[in-house]
Structure 1
Amino acid sequence: MGSLKAVLKHPDDFYPLLKLKIAVKKAEKQIPSEPHWGFCYSMLHKVSRSFGLVIQQLNPELRDAVCIFYLVLRALDTVEDDTSIASDIKVPILIAFHKHIYDRDWHFACGTKEYKVLMDQFHHVSTAFSELKKGYQDAIEDITMRMGAGMAKFICKEVETIDDYDEYCHYVAGLVGLGLSKLFHASGTEKLFSDSISNSMGLFLQKTNIIRDYLEDINEIPKSRMFWPREIWSKYVNKLEDLKYEDNSEKAVQCLNDMVTNALIHIEDCLKYMSELRDPAVFRFCAIPQIMAIGTLALCYNNIEVFRGVVKMRRGLTAKVIDRTKTMADVYQAFYDFSSLLKNKVDMHDPNAKTTLNRIEAAQKICQDSGTLSNRKSYIVKREPSYSPALIALLIIILAILYAYLSANRSNKIKVTL
């Protein structure tokens, strides 16, 4: 759950956080008993708890396919990310990875922490993959093959132009969008979306992550590869790492805003894709990450802290998004509100201000034209009201009672066991 300080500052986060905590615990208890499926779902929750939660809301057949798809691509990504692997070893593995998913004896030592466990015990993933329907297997194999080839290409190629940037993001994330569309269609729940619109769903998420993770990536030891395109950052500094230095703060923010503006171009496709989904569980699975992305971009825009530390949505706000995203009207409201937050931060002296505003207003028009926006000020972007000391004290008492209750139950269970 979020920190006590954060909950006291945003008391209305408490209930969504509590619901999220309960939902995560419930999902963890639903892990299958078979060793290979148990490993896969346990690993899913370790590498992405929130993503694991929305996956487990899908129908069982599709849920298993998406779980394996996610773990296969996480494993592929682990190979790509491991800078200790020489290129002459790494490239052949990436290119042949789609074949390894059929080999129950294959594993490869790389990665750290839970990712190392995933790679060491990849046979569990292969075993689970072998139990999926052929339509799911074919989709996962095809995307893994194309993604591995694309990753291999960029091991030996820098991201120079915006076209390179879009191509790299297509390989590592746009193809995920294409693959998910194929899995949804194979399950019989959705129509088959076009590659173009599916690609945008992945690019919007990937570009947001690349923007948000600048400092973590640039400071990584051994040095991580960077994917901010030279065509953008060279307008502001001589070297990409120069953006993190205080003397370059003004140029760094302008470059950041340029990157965010580039990401905004995908919003129209994303809204169109989500508006045409039919299955409620598939809709939530797709919509929650997209709202998180526009929210993260709104926080990052014009924010020097991207080059100083971690900028991300607080956990309580994330819990609210997960709890309250149920319909397309919720998506339109969230995108409108977060884009309004972003719009209010635009400095007209910024070199890209006009383009930024045009893209924001185009997105807002789609939301307005839906006819679903409410007049209320959304919970997502409103400034939290001041709470009286009495209300804060009451919240602390409730938390203390809840903690005492849980501790007593835990003690009773221990006594029974003894």
Structure 2
Amino acid sequence: MGSLGAILKHPNELYPLLKLKLEARNAEKQLPQQPHWRFCYSMLRKFSKTFAFVIEQLPTELRDAVCILYLVLRALDTVEDDTSIPVDVKVPILKAFLQHVFDKEWHFSCGTKECKVLMDQFHHVSTAFLELGKRYQEVIEDITKRMGAGMAKFICKEVETVDDYNEYCHYVSGLIGLGLSKLFHASGAEDLAPDSLSNSMALILQKQDIIRDYLEDINEIPKSRMFWPHQIWGKYVNKLEDLKYEENSVKAVQCLNEMVTDALTHVEDSLTYMSALRDPAIFRFWAIFQIMAIGNLALSYNNIEVFRGEVKIRPGLAAKLRDHTRTMADVYGAFYDFSCMLKSKVDKNDPNATKTLSIIEGIQKACRDYGLLNKRKSYILTTEPTNSSVLVALLLIALVIVVAHLCASQSSN
């Protein structure tokens, strides 16, 4: 749950936090009984509570397929991410990973924490994969094969140009977008979206991760991981790691702003994709992630803290976003609010200010053209009084404690 300080400043975020906590607790009680499926869903929650939350809203058959797609590609990503694996060992595994998905005996010890558990017990994922419908298996096969080949390519290739950057992001994330669109189409719930839109949906998520994870990646042991394209950062510093040093703060922020501006180029495609969705659960699946992405980009823009630590939406606001996102009007409203936040942070002296403002204005126009902005309740940019809310917040915190004790008592009986 969020920190006490954040809750006191934003007391109206406590209810969504509590609601989310209770939903997560109820979901944990509903894990499948089969050992392999129980393992898969428990791992899913360990990797991403948000992803688990939106997946569990999907129909059972589709939910299982998306869960396995995520875990297979997460395992593939674990092999790619582990810098301790020699290149001559790593590349063949990436290229042949699809074969391992069919092998109930295969495992490969690498990664750390949850990733290591996944790799050590990958037979559970293989067993679950083989129980999926053939139409879902074929999608996962295709995406796994293409992603493994793409990752292998970039093990031996630096991200030099923006084109390289887009290609890398396509292999490690855009293909996931294509895979999800194909799974949703295979289920009969949605029309098949154009590949370019599916790719953009995933690229904005990947790029905001790459931006936010700068410090973690550059400090990776035993070897730094570098995904920012030289074509961008080379304008500002001689080495990518130089961005983290205080004496380069001005150049670092300018470089960061160019990276965020590049990520924003995918937003209008994202809005177009979501506006065509018909199934409410699939819509929420995408919408929650897309709103979180533009929110994190808005927070990161012009923010030197990206080079000092972690920058992301506070838990209370994230819980509120999940709770409030129901319709396309909600999406347009959230995107408009975050684009206003972005616009307010643009410095006219920034080298990319003109381009950034042009993209933001395009996003705002797309949101305005929907025609419902004046009817939605804004909850992202509101300023809440703190002093008059402290007592209410404390009472709500007391309520949380009481409910938690009640839940504990029920589970023990």
Confirm or deny a common fold (TM above 0.5).
Answer: yes
Quick check: 1:170 aligned with 2:170? yes
Pairing of 1:11-410 with structure 2 (within 5 A): 11-374=11-374, 378-388=378-388, 391-404=389-402, 406-407=404-405, 410=408
Closer, same or farther in 2 for the Cα pair 1:377/1:186, shift >3 Å? closer
2:55–2:285 Cα contact (<8 Å) kept:
yes
- Helix, strand or coil for the counterpart of 2:265? helix
Closer, same or farther in 2 for the Cα pair 1:139/1:88, shift >3 Å? same
Closer, same or farther in 2 for the Cα pair 1:407/1:25, shift >3 Å? closer
Read off the aligned partner of 1:248 and give its amino acid letter. Answer: N
CA deviations on 1:190-249 (whole Å, 9 max, x unpaired) are 001111111101111101100111111111222232100000000000110111111111
2:330–2:376 Cα contact (<8 Å) kept:
no
2:9–2:385 Cα contact (<8 Å) kept:
no
Residue 134 (structure 1) shift: 0.6
Q: Please, which runs of 5 or more residues in structure 2 have no aligned partner?
A: none
Closer, same or farther in 2 for the Cα pair 1:157/1:16, shift >3 Å? same
CA deviations on 1:63-102 (whole Å, 9 max, x unpaired) are 0000000000100000000111000000000000011111
**Which region of structure 1 is more displaced relative to structure 2, 271-280 or 216-225?**
216-225
Residue 377 (structure 1) shift: 6.2
Closer, same or farther in 2 for the Cα pair 1:188/1:7, shift >3 Å? same
C-alpha distance in structure 1 between counterparts of 2:206 and 2:250, whole Å:
25
- Helix, strand or coil for the counterpart of 2:374? coil
CA deviations on 1:290-327 (whole Å, 9 max, x unpaired) are 00000000000011111111110000010011000000
- Helix, strand or coil for the counterpart of 1:374? helix
Read off the aligned partner of 1:400 and give its amino acid letter. Answer: A
2:139–2:183 Cα contact (<8 Å) kept:
yes
Residue 402 (structure 1) shift: 4.1
C-alpha distance in structure 1 between counterparts of 2:393 and 2:65, whole Å:
42
C-alpha distance in structure 2 between counterparts of 1:347 and 1:79, whole Å:
41
Closer, same or farther in 2 for the Cα pair 1:240/1:11, shift >3 Å? same
CA deviations on 1:232-280 (whole Å, 9 max, x unpaired) are 0000001101111111111000000000111111111110000000000
C-alpha distance in structure 2 between counterparts of 1:364 and 1:14, whole Å:
29
C-alpha distance in structure 2 between counterparts of 1:27 and 1:366, whole Å:
36
C-alpha distance in structure 2 between counterparts of 1:334 and 1:413, whole Å:
37
C-alpha distance in structure 1 between counterparts of 2:6 and 2:110, whole Å:
36
Read off the aligned partner of 1:384 and give its amino acid letter. Answer: E
C-alpha distance in structure 2 between counterparts of 1:408 and 1:314, whole Å:
27
Aligned alpha-carbon RMSD (Å): 1.4
Residue 32 (structure 1) shift: 0.4
Read off the aligned partner of 2:106 and give its amino acid letter. Answer: W
C-alpha distance in structure 2 between counterparts of 1:179 and 1:45, whole Å:
21
C-alpha distance in structure 2 between counterparts of 1:193 and 1:408, whole Å:
46
C-alpha distance in structure 1 between counterparts of 2:368 and 2:159, whole Å:
36
Residue 410 (structure 1) shift: 3.8
C-alpha distance in structure 2 between counterparts of 1:20 and 1:409, whole Å:
14
Whose RCO is larger (CA < 8 A, sep 6+)? Answer: 2
Read off the aligned partner of 1:216 and give its amino acid letter. Answer: E
Matched residues, percent identical?
69
C-alpha distance in structure 2 between counterparts of 1:24 and 1:120, whole Å:
26
Read off the aligned partner of 1:227 and give its amino acid letter. Answer: F
2:329–2:376 Cα contact (<8 Å) kept:
no
2:346–2:353 Cα contact (<8 Å) kept:
yes
Q: Please, which runs of 5 or more residues in structure 1 have no aligned partner?
A: none
Closer, same or farther in 2 for the Cα pair 1:71/1:11, shift >3 Å? same
C-alpha distance in structure 1 between counterparts of 2:406 and 2:361, whole Å:
54
C-alpha distance in structure 1 between counterparts of 2:377 and 2:326, whole Å:
18
Residue 387 (structure 1) shift: 3.5
CA deviations on 1:141-187 (whole Å, 9 max, x unpaired) are 10000000000000000000000000000000000000001000000
Closer, same or farther in 2 for the Cα pair 1:412/1:158, shift >3 Å? closer
